[in-house]
């Protein structure tokens, strides 16, 4: 039964995780590890269950065509898979961010000290 | 598979890369290699889960799972070949028989006849009663419709008969149709060779021949156009050959010749009375009912005694007219195979329940490992669908083979059976049924698994039962009971028909039908030949008696005249119609028909005195109830305006004797009031004599073996009547058997269904009991340990079998009672709940259940209590 519970937990996250991924990519194309680190810097909570949950989220965003992926060479000359924001992703980010601001304010009123840092 | 694998591998590599990067970071921050790797892995979490979730998002997973399930299903079925074969064959049987009947119904009833715009084609006729006999339209009526009606784009008329047709090979009997010249043009049938008829051909000696005639009689000669054939002695020129496989009412494949009739022609001949079948094409947009209303209004004032009553005029689509009589039997058959399919499905479901129970442990393990219920359900469903699709494929093969066999065997006998084939629509229906069977089959085991996997099995039950399988088997028994009772009713019908008193002695009677090759000979000459032949037949060694009759029972060529009759001492009513048959003086001795009152024909009767006649019981009951029939005089009724020549017999006819009712048509039909006229007394100018130009029929009573007698008869024919074609020479009992053939076919089909159902039910009962004994092994062991005897245990199993039969038979009988209503028209002389049919069905089911229960009961009795308790 344990897997089923996890699945539910992951299910609750996407709104936030997806949004954070998109925000990270706003700065430029990134590979998976770099995205994870960047998100971790801003919110440890989101990736609490592990960096692993990043990958299903990336697949979801790929499927929605909000991001695109291509193979490239990373800083230390290693092959890596880079993700970048698409135009559709950029637009969605705008809409989602404003929604998120409303939502996070509501959350902040209930939970202290919750301070999801957003731009 | 390839694509999914590649994508998965790439993701796994990416994740691996992620963890390596994390490890490097950790090393940089001062961890040892092992620590760093552990920390990275920990931070990442469950790698496998990440991959699985990603794949779920890719979505192709469903298809992938499906393919996996498919492979798994095939593998697990290979591991259980006995089970797989049993279910596939069970379903193939059910689906195959449904597909066969569906294919026939589709080809014969639903498909339009293969003519241009077939829905516009209609038959026009007068419907006389419920039994479906019809009146032709008179030429005048057809002409009226053709001239004044606005509903039809064309009206054609035709009539069919049998005539001797001479070709260079010699004269043989062929089918003959007289058609209006526009006939084929209106239908939209082109000539295969030469041309069709035109209106200019109306009075020309020209003829069209069917493809079969051209192939069989003219050897497919390509230069046949312009040559001539002799039709009943008259030469006619062939102007065209028609395409093969024409299928019209009364015009079905065979050696046919088509000659023009003209609606204005006046036929004096009684039998070619001026009426014909009318076939018409509706104008586009005109419905049959509109056309009917118009035609009725046009004909309502036309009281043509040769034609149909305007009030009873009917217009029926051609397709329906051709194969409408097959609709009820085919629907009844469809019901039968439907029941068979349900039984097969119940069996398949039961087998699947049993198998699911065996696999409960597997399912529990899978569930514990995280497989969700929908996932397990999908697996079951895929397995079930694989099985039912396999069943459908085999069933489809069965249907294709069966339809081919039926087409081969019955193409000649039933309308449109030559067109039978398995069309895509039938295959689609088959696939749909298979999917439904698959869904139904997986439903019960799925529910069972849901129940057992949803609750933790903390307690171990000793007694396990399965209500679903029990109910399914009861359902099977009920359905089987319906088929068996129906089958019993058919058997009883057959018996009842064979017991019907035919009114004469058909044993050792041979019937002979002859046709003059040249019907233009004067009737007197033909009559003379017949008389001579009869005299010779009577003196043949071994022949007890011989008679000439215009209508011989169970002959396809019989003629009798339906005449309105005045009976002395009785006021004439409009429907006072009797059938007149001409017989020879030796009629009573030869037919073995019983004389009830008065006397038979005697030598002194011939001459110019008053005509004496015999009548049958039905005549007395109808026209002379409570009166002494002897001495009563009859007269053919004279309608105002009738001329002397319109009456076949003008004088008085005196009744001298009453004979037993003699059956004429199919067994079980009603008796017509009959008047028998002595051939020798017929006036020389009677239009009855026209009969001799058509056919002569003899009944010869002899105890000689068939072959010997046939030889003698043929030798006599060669000697005395070389210009007569032999159309039929067969023992009368053969004719009677042939008249029952359709019913026999129905009986064979129904008993086939019954036997199959019984077999399936036996398998079902056996499966249920065997499975129950397995489930109740522990219980049985404990019972035995507590002192139950082996017979007691066996009785336990037999009791369950008995209960199953009892609970199945009661609704089964109710179902059979309902089913009887749908097949009532095929039955004769039995009641819906015939005790013999119901009783034998119940006994048969009980015996079958007993046999099916024997092995499980034996197995139960052999349970070793010590072994069972040791396992506990």
Residue B448 has pLDDT above 50, yes or no: yes
How confident is the model at residue B752, as a pLDDT? 84
User: Are B532 and B603 spatial neighbours (Cβ–Cβ below 8 Å)?
Assistant: no
- Confidence at residue B270, expressed as pLDDT on a 0 to 100 scale: 39
The predicted-structure confidence for B20-33, as pLDDT tens digits, reads as follows 888 988 898 888 88
- Counting one residue from chain A and one from chain B, the pairs whose CB atoms sit within 8 A come to 69
Nearest to B562 by CA among B577, B551, B547: B577
CA distance B658 to B539: 28
Closest CA–CA distance from residue B361 to any residue of chain A (Å): 17
What mean pLDDT is predicted for residues B320-330? 78
Q: Which comes out higher in pLDDT, residue B413 or B550? A: B550
Q: Are residues B755 and B838 located together in one domain of the fold?
A: yes
Average pLDDT over residues B316-339: 82
Can you give the pLDDT at residue A93?
78
Contacts B57 to A, Cβ<8 Å: 56, 59-60, 63
Q: Is the pLDDT of residue B459 over 70?
A: no
Which chain B residue's Cα is nearest to A58? B54
Same domain, B163 and B291: yes
Say if B14 is an interface residue toward chain A (CB within 8 Å): yes
Measure the CA angle with vertex B571, ends B565 and B575; round to 5°: 50
Residue A119 — pLDDT band, cuts 50, 70, 90? very low
Q: How confident is the model at residue B2 (pLDDT cuts 50, 70, 90)?
A: low
Query: Do B841 and B765 fall into the same domain?
Result: yes
Round to whole Å and give the CA distance between A62 and A79: 20
Is B75 in a helix, a strand, or coil? helix
- pLDDT of B397 strictly over 90: yes
pLDDT exceeds 60 at position B121: yes
Q: How far is CA A4 from CA A9, A52, B368, in A?
A: 9, 17, 11
How far apart CA B381 and CA B372 sit, in angstroms, is: 14
Which band of pLDDT confidence, cut at 50, 70 and 90, is reported for residue A14?
very low
- pLDDT at residue A47, as a whole number: 66
- Using only the alpha carbons of chain B, give its radius of gyration: 38
Cα dihedral value B142, B148, B152, B157, nearest 10:
10
With 70 as the cut, is the pLDDT of residue B442 above it?
Answer: yes
Res B452: pLDDT: 62
Alpha helices in A1-119 (DSSP H): 2-12, 14-26, 32-42, 54-63, 87-110
* Greater pLDDT, B382 or B323: B382
A80 touches chain B (CB under 8 A): yes
pLDDT, residue B267, reads 46
Chain B CA closest to residue A40: B43
Task: State which of A7-16, A76-85, B14-23 shows the largest mean pLDDT.
Answer: B14-23
Of B408, B434, B459, the last residue of a domain is B459
Instruction: Give the integer Cα–Cα distance in Å for A106 and A118.
Output: 14
Query: B322 in a domain, yes or no?
Result: no
- When divided into structural domains, chain B yields a total of 5
**Range of the structural domain that residue B822 is part of:** 468-501+742-872
Instruction: Map residue B707 onto helix, strand or coil.
Output: helix
* B509 assigned to some structural domain: no
Mean pLDDT confidence for B589-603: 86
The region of weakest confidence among A78-87, B311-320, B352-361 is B352-361
Residue B453 has pLDDT above 60, yes or no: no
Question: pLDDT category, B133, cuts 50, 70, 90?
Answer: low
Choose the weakest-confidence range: B87-91, B227-231, B678-682, B728-732. B678-682
Per the CB < 8 A criterion, the answer to whether B581 and B504 are in contact is no
Chain centroid to CA B589: 40
Residues B560 and B707 in one domain: yes
Confidence class of residue A2 from pLDDT cuts 50, 70 and 90?
Answer: very low
The three-state secondary structure class of B566 is strand
Same domain, B548 and B663: yes
pLDDT band of B400, cuts 50, 70, 90:
very high
* A29: pLDDT strictly greater than 80: yes
Q: Is the pLDDT higher at B437 or at A48?
A: B437
Collapse the DSSP code of B157 into the 3-class scheme (helix H, G, I; strand E, B; otherwise coil) and give the result: strand
**pLDDT over threshold 60, residue B765:** yes
What was the pLDDT predicted at B208? 92
Do B401 and B467 touch, CB atoms closer than 8 A? no
Backbone phi, psi, residue B869, to 5°: -70, -30
- Whether B736 is in a domain gets the answer no
Residue B381's H or E segment, with its range, is helix B373-410
Q: Which structural domains are found in chain A, ordered by start?
A: 2-110 (1.10.10.10)
Write down the pLDDT at residue B308.
65
Same-domain check for residues B789 and B850: yes
| Least trusted range by pLDDT, from B335-339, B497-501, B509-513 | B497-501
- Say whether pTM exceeds 0.90: no
B18–A32 C-beta distance less than 8 A? yes
In the numeric block, which tokens belong to residue B103? 């294919």
Query: Is the separation of the CB atoms in B814 and B505 below 8 Å?
Result: no
pLDDT band at B207 (very low <50, low <70, confident <90, very high): very high
* pLDDT value, residue B657: 92
Contacts of B17 in chain A (CB under 8 A): 31-33, 78-81
Confidence of residue A46 (pLDDT cuts 50, 70, 90): low
Instruction: Classify B139 as helix, strand or coil.
Output: helix
Split at pLDDT 50, 70, 90, the class of B658 is: very high
DSSP B549: B
As a whole number, mean pLDDT of residues A60-72 equals 86
Averaged pLDDT score across all residues of chain B: 83
CA distance B483 to chain A (A): 50
Instruction: Please give the pLDDT value at position B401.
Output: 92
Between CA B662 and CA A51 the distance in angstroms is 99
Residue A9, pLDDT > 50, answer: no
Q: For residue B871, what pLDDT is reported?
A: 67
Strands B170-179 and B256-260: parallel
Same domain assignment for residues B348 and B245: no
Same structural domain, B52 and B75: no
B77 domain-assigned:
yes
More confident residue, B140 or B483: B483
Query: Is residue B824 included in any domain, yes or no?
Result: yes
CB B493 within 8 A of CB B714: no
The pair of structure tokens assigned to B655 is 């009744």
Beta-carbon separation of A80 and B46 below 8 A: no
Task: Say which residue, B370 or A59, is predicted with more confidence.
Answer: A59
Name the least confident of B111-115, B493-497, B792-796: B111-115
Report the residue of chain B nearest A2, measured CA to CA. B370
* Between A69 and B372, the higher pLDDT residue: A69
> Do the beta carbons of residue B392 and residue B433 sit within 8 Å?
yes
Single out the residue of B584, B598, B683 nearest to residue B636, CA to CA: B683
Chain B CB contacts of A2 below 8 Å:
370
Helix B741-775 / helix B732-739 crossing angle, nearest 10 deg: 50
Does B569 lie in the same domain as B473? no
Q: Is B373 on the interface with A (CB under 8 A)?
A: no
Report yes or no: A105 at the B interface, CB cutoff 8 Å: no
Determine, for residues B50 and A53 on separate chains, whether the beta-carbon distance falls below 8 Å.
Answer: yes
Whether residue B120 is contained in a domain is answered as: no
Tell me, yes or no, whether B222 and B296 share the same domain: yes
Please report the pLDDT score of residue B349 as a whole number: 82
Q: Per the omega criterion (within 30 degrees of 0), is the bond before B778 cis?
A: no
Which tokens in the block code for residue B341?
A: 């399919």
Quick check: is B513 in a domain? no
Looking at B776-834, list the stretches that DSSP marks H as alpha helix, in order from N- to C-terminal side.
777-785, 790-823
Inter-axis angle of helices B327-358 and B360-368, to 10 degrees? 60
Residue B276 lies in a domain: yes
Quick: pLDDT tens for B268-279: 443 445 678 888
CA B201-B202-B207 angle, to 5 degrees, is 60
| Residue bearing tokens 């009206």 | B155
> Tell me, what's the pLDDT at B268?
41
Using the predicted structure, report yes or no on whether residue B463 has a pLDDT greater than 80: no
Low-confidence winner among B238-247, B282-291, B739-748 (lowest mean pLDDT): B739-748
Nearest CB neighbour to A52, from listed B25, B47, B370: B47
Which of A71-80, A91-100, B355-364, B475-484 is the most confident on average? Answer: B475-484
Residues B546 and B685 in one domain: yes
pLDDT of residue B606: 60
**pLDDT number for residue B646:** 67
Please compute the mean of the pLDDT values over residues B443-461 and round it to a whole number.
Answer: 61
**Distance (Å, whole) CA A80 – CA B40:** 18
The model's pLDDT over B566-592, given as tens digits with 9 standing for 90+, comes to: 888 888 887 788 888 888 888 888 888
- CA B63 from chain centre, in angstroms, equals 44
What is the distance between the alpha carbons of residues B497 and B738, in angstroms, rounded to a whole number? Answer: 13
Q: Does B563 share its domain with B684?
A: yes
Structure tokens at A27: 């700065």
- How big is chain B, counted in residues? 872
Contact assessment for residue B688 and residue B270, using Cβ atoms and an 8 Å cutoff: yes
Contact A56 B370 (CB under 8 A): no
pLDDT of residue B454: 54
């Amino acid at each position: 039964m344990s897997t089923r519970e996890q699945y539910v937990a992951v299910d609750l996250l996407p709104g936030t995780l997806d949004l954070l991924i998109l925000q990270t990519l706003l700065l430029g194309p990134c590979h998976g590890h770099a995205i994870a680190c960047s998100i971790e810097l801003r919110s440890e909570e989101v990736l609490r269950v592990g960096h692993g949950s990043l990958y299903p989220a990336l697949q979801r965003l790929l499927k929605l065509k909000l991001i695109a992926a291509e193979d490239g060479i990373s800083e230390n000359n290693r092959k890596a898979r880079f993700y970048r924001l698409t135009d559709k992703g950029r637009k969605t980010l705008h809409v989602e961010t404003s929604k998120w601001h409303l939502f996070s304010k509501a959350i902040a009123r209930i939970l202290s000290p919750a301070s999801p840092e957003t731009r | 598979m390839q694509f999914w694998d590649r994508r998965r591998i790439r993701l796994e590599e990416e994740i691996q890369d992620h963890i390596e990067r994390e490890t490097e970071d950790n090393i940089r921050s001062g961890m040892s290699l092992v620590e760093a790797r552990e920390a990275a892995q920990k931070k990442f979490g469950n790698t496998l889960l990440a991959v699985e979730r990603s794949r779920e998002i890719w979505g192709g997973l469903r298809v992938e799972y499906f393919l996996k399930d498919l492979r798994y299903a095939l593998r697990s079925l290979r591991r259980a070949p006995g089970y797989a074969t049993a279910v596939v064959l069970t379903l193939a049987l059910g689906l195959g028989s449904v597909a066969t009947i569906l294919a026939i119904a589709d080809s014969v009833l639903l498909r339009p006849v293969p003519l241009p715009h077939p829905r516009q084609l209609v038959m026009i006729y007068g419907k006389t009663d419920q039994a479906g006999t019809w009146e032709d339209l008179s030429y005048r009526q057809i002409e009226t419709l053709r001239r004044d009606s606005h509903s039809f784009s064309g009206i054609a008329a035709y009539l069919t008969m049998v005539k001797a047709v001479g070709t260079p090979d010699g004269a043989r009997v062929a089918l003959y149709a007289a058609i209006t010249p526009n006939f084929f043009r209106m239908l939209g049938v082109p000539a295969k060779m030469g041309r069709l008829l035109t209106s200019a051909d109306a009075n020309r000696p020209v003829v069209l021949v069917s493809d079969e005639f051209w192939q069989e009689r003219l050897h497919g000669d390509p230069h046949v156009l312009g040559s001539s054939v002799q039709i009943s002695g008259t030469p006619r020129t062939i102007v065209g050959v028609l395409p093969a496989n024409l299928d019209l009412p009364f015009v079905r494949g065979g050696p046919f010749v088509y000659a023009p009739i003209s609606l204005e022609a006046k036929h004096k001949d009684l039998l070619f009375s001026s009426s014909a079948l009318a076939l018409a094409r509706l104008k586009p947009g005109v419905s049959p009912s509109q056309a009917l209303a118009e035609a009725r209004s046009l004909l309502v004032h036309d009281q043509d005694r040769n034609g149909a009553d305007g009030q009873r005029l009917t217009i029926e689509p051609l397709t329906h007219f051709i194969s409408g009589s097959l609709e009820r039997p085919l629907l009844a058959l469809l019901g039968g195979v439907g029941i068979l399919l349900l039984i097969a499905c119940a069996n398949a479901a039961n087998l699947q329940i049993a198998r699911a129970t065996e696999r409960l442990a597997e399912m529990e393990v899978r569930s514990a490992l995280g497989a969700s219920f929908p996932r397990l359900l999908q697996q079951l469903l895929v397995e079930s669908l694989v099985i039912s699709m396999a069943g459908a494929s085999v069933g489809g093969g069965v249907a294709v083979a069966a339809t081919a066999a039926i087409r081969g065997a019955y193409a000649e006998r039933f309308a449109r059976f030559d067109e039978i084939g398995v069309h895509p629509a039938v295959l689609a229906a088959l696939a749909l049924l298979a999917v439904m069977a698959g869904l139904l089959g997986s439903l019960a085991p799925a529910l069972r698994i849901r129940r057992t996997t949803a609750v933790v099995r903390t307690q171990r039950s000793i007694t396990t039962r399965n209500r679903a399988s029990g109910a399914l088997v009861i359902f099977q028994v009920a359905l089987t009971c319906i088929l068996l009772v129906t089958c019993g009713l058919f058997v009883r019908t057959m018996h009842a028909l064979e017991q019907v008193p035919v009114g004469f002695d058909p044993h050792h009677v041979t019937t002979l039908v002859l046709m003059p090759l040249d019907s233009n000979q004067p009737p007197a000459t033909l009559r003379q030949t017949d008389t001579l032949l009869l005299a010779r037949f009577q003196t043949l060694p071994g022949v007890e008696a011989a008679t000439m009759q215009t209508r011989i029972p169970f002959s396809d060529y019989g003629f009798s005249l339906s005449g309105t009759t005045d009976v002395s001492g009785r006021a004439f009513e409009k429907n006072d119609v009797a059938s007149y048959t001409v017989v020879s003086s030796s009629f009573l001795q030869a037919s073995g028909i019983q004389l009830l009152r008065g006397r038979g024909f005697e030598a002194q009767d011939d001459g110019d005195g008053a005509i004496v006649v015999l009548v049958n019981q039905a005549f007395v009951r109808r026209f002379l109830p409570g009166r002494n029939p002897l001495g009563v005089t009859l007269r053919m009724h004279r309608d105002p305006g009738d001329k002397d020549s319109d009456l076949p017999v003008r004088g008085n006819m005196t009744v001298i004797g009453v004979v037993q009712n003699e059956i004429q048509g199919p067994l079980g039909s009603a008796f017509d009031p009959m008047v028998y006229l002595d051939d020798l007394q017929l006036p020389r100018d009677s239009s009855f004599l026209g009969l001799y130009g058509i056919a002569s029929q003899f009944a010869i009573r002899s105890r000689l073996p068939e072959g010997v007698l046939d030889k003698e008869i043929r030798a006599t024919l060669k000697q005395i009547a070389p210009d007569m074609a032999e159309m039929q020479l067969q023992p009368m009992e053969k004719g009677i058997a042939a008249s029952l053939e359709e019913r026999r076919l129905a009986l064979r089909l129904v008993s086939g269904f019954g036997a199959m159902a019984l077999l399936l039910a036996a398998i079902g009962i056996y499966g249920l009991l065997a499975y129950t004994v397995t489930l109740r092994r522990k219980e049985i062991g404990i019972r035995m340990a507590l002192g139950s005897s082996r017979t007691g245990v066996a009785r336990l199993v037999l009791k369950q079998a008995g209960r199953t039969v009892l609970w199945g038979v009661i609704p089964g009988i109710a179902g059979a009672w309902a089913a009887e209503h749908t097949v009532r028209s095929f039955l004769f002389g039995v009641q819906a709940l015939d005790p013999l049919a119901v009783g034998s069905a119940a006994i048969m089911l009980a015996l079958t259940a007993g046999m099916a229960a024997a092995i499980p009961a034996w197995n139960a009795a052999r349970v070793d209590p010590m072994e069972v308790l040791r396992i506990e």
